[in-house]
Chains A and B, each alone.
Chain A
Amino acid sequence: MIQFFSYLINGIGLGSVYAIIALGYSMVYGIAKMLNFAHGDVIMVGAYIAFCVTQYVGLPPLAGVLAAVIVCTALGITIERLAYKPLRQATSLAVLITAIGMSYLLQNVAQLIWTANPKNFPSLVSFPSLSLFGGQMLITGETLVTVLANVVIMVSLTLFINKTKMGKAMRGVSEDRGAAELMGINVNSTISLTFAIGSALAAIAGVLLCSTYPVLMPTTGSMPGIKAFTAAVFGGIGSIPGALLGGLLLGVIEILGKAYVSTELGDAIVFGVLIVVLLVRPTGLLGKQVHEKV
């Protein structure tokens, strides 16, 4: 039984990382109505920046996180300006392909700068592990910090969306872009802000991901990115609580599936569950059911 809880907590830790990444996918989809497939690679850039700042420059971990957040925010806004904004009126297929292209561009530029040799990311979390039941159950500092960060991010983001003027503008753009524009909301700056927040979260996710799972390569972001995208769809894309629920469930299913079914089938189980959920609830667990009026 203790074993089960131990796996459950590992799953929640992994799921929290997925949830933070999924937020980026979900917010951008909700507001700009596009799938930003380069999001996973922004995570990788964030992790590399934190690695360089702490290892090469020798600054403390917090400075590394801060530098990663700043660089990723700037990167997110730049990507949006250069690659996505000119396509605002284009078909969604064109935007999707651009996003995939951007993802490969980031991976290859990272390979040029940092080479393909994997680096070992030393954990930036200095929080002590928690030992329960006389050492039978161990919660690592990384897991604690990840879960905590996840809660803080979720609460503050929900408050931001619901209580502030900028948040209101975001909700407006998400609901009806044309109407929002007519009401005097600056759609472009709202979308930029969304990318900025999403990319800043990606930087944090990158540091947390690599602190827990230490290998850093130019392709580090792609698989967690795809899993987090799955989590966003699973929970209902466009919904913040959906991203949280989807991420946590995905992490828990992945770990428990590996532990109790088979380590070989871990990923197959995750994606199998996604297919079943989408068959039953096409909009995801917490997605809005939109009834089209004819």
Chain B
Amino acid sequence: MKKLLVVALALALALTASFAMAEDTIKIGVIGPMTGPAAVYGVAVANGAKIAADEINANPDAAFDIVIDVQDDEHDPEKGINAYNATLDNGSQMILGTVTTAPCIAVSAQAFEDRIFMLTPSASSADVTANKDNAFQVCFTDPAMGTAAAKRIGETKLGTKVAIIYNNADVYSTGIYQAFIAEAETQGLDIVSTTTFTDDTTDFSVQVTEAKNAGADIVFLPIYYTPASQILTEANRQEYAPLFFGVDGMDGILSVEGFDTSLAEGVMMLTPFYSGADNEQTKNFVAKYQELYGEVPNQFAANAYDGIYALYQACLNTGITADTTPEEACELLIAEFPKLQIEGITGAMTWTESGEVSKTPLAVVIKDGQYEVVE
């Protein structure tokens, strides 16, 4: 781990050195878990951000180059603060991060004090941006996701009797759940069963049986893909086949090792990013990502890619240069972001003054082990 860090640092230094020769550079700190159990997300964000920066730097018409300084927070709030201080010491002028919610709440509070601008690609809790004018999100907030899910089910008449299984020990899951039930009422959805579990739960038979007995034709799963795969297995065993409806946390279910992907057939989910989308930008990004990292990028990488472009565009519009101090850049960006419009690979984005993004999630359904967009 130490060795990796040293290599990463050396690389970062080498990059700084080589790009310092270029005309003008903006330095962006990327903070996220590069090691530890949440490393999957952090590494994807760093990879996506690098691809965006490389594209900008390869463009001869670009007004300036982007240099990325990646710091590891190990999905820990305290280490997040250390990583934040380290990247500022390295001369970063703004932050793309942090990736996970708990460190992001800690770092955004500190950044608010210090007047440093931060744009998180993936920390979706409403607490990240609440009462902080300097923090913006590329991902949907949890409440926005819950509302969008209820709307989708109601408006496209996917079903009327809804069962919900959520993790009540998790901020992400409860955040989506609360917004979902609020919107479900307006949509006239009948919630026939609500059950919960925690991170330690091994047995899902009760939750699935209750949904089945309540006669639910839709099971809403505002949870991550690991417990979702358990629920799908249990439902299959009980010969219960409703429509399973997931959110962005469901993204990744097809890549769980040993998981029988036929169980996920027909699962519908809302996600900001679809790697098979038919547009030039997405195709290039996916091809580049596969070439460099040997896998299909997930929504974390895509959000980070869009995040770098959003920062680039905002810096262009406000005339931020290498000489702008982080504090000056912060005030300029805070004023600029609500005016910004970005056409990204995760959709067309605008921001509110409170830092939330507004974009439309895609609905995809799993068919033959692949995502397929549904209108």
- Residues from chain B with a CB closer than 8 A to the CB of A258 are 203, 206-207
Bound CA span A14–B204, Å:
11
Task: Tell whether A116 is near chain B: CB-to-CB under 8 Å.
Answer: yes
| CB–CB B200/A267 < 8 A | yes
- Residues from chain A with a CB closer than 8 A to the CB of B40 are 117
Task: Tell whether B195 is near chain A: CB-to-CB under 8 Å.
Answer: yes
| CB–CB A121/B258 < 8 A | yes
- Residues from chain B with a CB closer than 8 A to the CB of A138 are 237-239
Please report which residues of chain B, range 180-203, place their CB below 8 angstroms from some CB of chain A when the two chains form the complex.
195-198, 200-203
Cβ 8 A contact of A119, one of B207, B230, B233, B256 = B256
- Residues from chain A with a CB closer than 8 A to the CB of B197 are 263
- Residues from chain A with a CB closer than 8 A to the CB of B258 are 51, 55, 119-122, 214, 216
| CB–CB A255/B200 < 8 A | no
Bound CA span A264–B259, Å:
27
Number of A-B contacts (CB under 8 A): 80
Task: Tell whether A213 is near chain B: CB-to-CB under 8 Å.
Answer: yes
- Residues from chain A with a CB closer than 8 A to the CB of B59 are none
Bound CA span A117–B209, Å:
28
CB 8 Å contact bits of B226-262 with A (1 = contact, 0 = none):
1101100100011100000000000000001111100
- Residues from chain B with a CB closer than 8 A to the CB of A118 are 226, 256
Give 20 pairs: A residue, B residue, CB < 8 Å, sorted on A. Answer: A3-B209, A7-B206, A10-B206, A10-B209, A116-B36, A118-B226, A119-B257, A120-B256, A122-B258, A122-B260, A129-B237, A214-B229, A215-B202, A215-B226, A215-B229, A215-B230, A223-B202, A259-B206, A264-B196, A267-B200
Bound CA span A211–B209, Å:
19
Task: Tell whether B313 is near chain A: CB-to-CB under 8 Å.
Answer: no
Q: A7-B209, A215-B226 are in contact. Are A263 and B256 (CB under 8 A)?
A: no
Which secondary structure dominates where chain B touches chain A? Answer: mixed
- Centre residue among B201, B206, B230, B256 by max chain A CB count within 10 A: B206
Nearest Cβ distance between residue A220 and chain B, in whole angstroms?
8
Task: Tell whether B110 is near chain A: CB-to-CB under 8 Å.
Answer: no
Chain A residue, CB-CB nearest to B37: A116
| CB–CB A120/B195 < 8 A | no
Task: Tell whether A209 is near chain B: CB-to-CB under 8 Å.
Answer: yes
- Residues from chain A with a CB closer than 8 A to the CB of B238 are 138
- Centre residue among B39, B168, B237, B260 by max chain A CB count within 10 A: B237
CB 8 Å contact bits of A130-160 with B (1 = contact, 0 = none):
0000010010101000000000000000000
Please report which residues of chain A, range 31-75, place their CB below 8 angstroms from some CB of chain B when the two chains form the complex.
51, 55
Bound CA span A250–B285, Å:
52
Nearest Cβ distance between residue A239 and chain B, in whole angstroms?
25
By size class, the interface of chain B is 20 to 34
Bound CA span A6–B210, Å:
12
Bound CA span A263–B194, Å:
9
By size class, the interface of chain A is 20 to 34
Bound CA span A139–B195, Å:
22
Task: Tell whether A254 is near chain B: CB-to-CB under 8 Å.
Answer: yes
Task: Tell whether A172 is near chain B: CB-to-CB under 8 Å.
Answer: no
| CB–CB B209/A120 < 8 A | no
Bound CA span A215–B224, Å:
13
- Centre residue among B197, B204, B207, B258 by max chain A CB count within 10 A: B258
- Residues from chain A with a CB closer than 8 A to the CB of B36 are 116
Chain A residue, CB-CB nearest to B256: A120
CB 8 Å contact bits of A94-122 with B (1 = contact, 0 = none):
00000000000000000000001111111
- Residues from chain A with a CB closer than 8 A to the CB of B237 are 129, 138, 140, 142
Q: A214-B229, A263-B195 are in contact. Are A224 and B260 (CB under 8 A)?
A: no
Chain A residue, CB-CB nearest to B39: A116
Bound CA span A186–B195, Å:
54
Please report which residues of chain B, range 144-198, place their CB below 8 angstroms from some CB of chain A when the two chains form the complex.
168, 195-198
Bound CA span A255–B226, Å:
21
- Residues from chain A with a CB closer than 8 A to the CB of B279 are none
Chain B residue, CB-CB nearest to A55: B258
Q: A214-B230, A214-B233, A215-B229 are in contact. Are A120 and B259 (CB under 8 A)?
A: yes
- Residues from chain A with a CB closer than 8 A to the CB of B18 are none
Task: Tell whether B213 is near chain A: CB-to-CB under 8 Å.
Answer: yes
| CB–CB B203/A14 < 8 A | yes
- Residues from chain A with a CB closer than 8 A to the CB of B168 are 264
